[in-house]
Amino acid sequence: METKYQITKPEHGSQEWLFARWQDDKGRKRIAASTAAAVHGEHKYMTPGDLAAELLAKEPPMPKPPTQAMERGNRMEPMIIQWVADEERIELFTPNELYCFDDGRARMIATLDAQDGTGTPFEIKTINKKWDGKLPPHWYWQGVQQSICSGMRDIEWRVFDNEMVIHRYKQTVSSDERQVHIEAVAKFLEAIDLGDVPDTAIMSYENMSELYSKSLPIQVELPAEASLMIADLEKVKNVIKELEARESIIKADLGKLLQEAEEGVIDGEVVITWKEQKRTSFDTARFDRERPELAKLYKKDTKFRVMKTKGRK
């Protein structure tokens, strides 16, 4: 049976907020609107493998320092909401609830930036380029999921771009669009519920390193095909070494041609540059030597796993 409900919204970005988005009160994993596009392989910053690794993990995601873009959005969002309300002469409020959907197979949750008096969601975005009037795929699927969770057909987008202009865009979500997303989420979570990787997700080494970040002093018997995988890994590593050596030789030959010149030209067209760059680095060794007690206060241990192949006897 299809149900829509709301839960109290924890502080945005907090551990409690991340946990609520990660699983429901029955311990079942669910999809957050901001990651909805990853289910379809259309998220700009998250692959299906990234999403699968996050949902299959034993612990919820931890709060991370905001990026510059996130910081910009967090600080400007309340002002833009008020600006939109004043300019359009409407009342907007930021809901204190998270909107949830559950039909027994697909489980979703959405954080809404603002709503008007009819309950229509308003999604606020800030971008550092000119708005082209089109929703990128990861915004589109976010809007579809917000429509599903809120029960509203329209999503009102307000995009503040680098020309200091607020642009309006109305996304009207059809029942067919909602059903496509519900089915995709259901299939994705079906695998997650079984502890498996969804068919649409290709796990990277980074995904596996995050999923299995701790190592135990035990051994596991590998299947026979693991020998072929290890042999392939060694071949790839050797090819990488050969390519890196070849890259160094080619760069050396080009450097001999360029010498002190910053640019190389063919038929009047710049085809290569070789310019000086400056890097400022912290002298850790000197700091340790001259301020050892202070240095200890700023050091932290980072644990990670290293995979090495062993030659068979």
| Average pLDDT for 24-30 | 96
DSSP 8-state code for residue 128: S
Q: Which residues pair with 6 in a beta bridge?
A: 99
Residue-wise pLDDT tens digits, 275-310: 999 989 898 889 889 988 888 888 888 888 999 998
Residue-wise pLDDT tens digits, 171-200: 999 999 999 999 999 999 999 999 999 999
Please report which residue ranges of 89-174 form alpha helices under DSSP H: 137-150
Helix (H, G, I), strand (E, B) or coil at 81: helix
Residue-wise pLDDT tens digits, 90-109: 999 999 999 999 999 999 99
What CATH code would you report for 3-211?
Answer: 3.90.320.10
Report whether 192 contacts 159 (CB < 8 A).
Answer: no
- Domain coordinates in residue numbering, the chain: 3-211, 226-297
How far apart are alpha carbons 42 and 65 in whole angstroms? 24
Count the neighbouring beta carbons within 10 Å of the beta carbon of residue 9.
Answer: 18
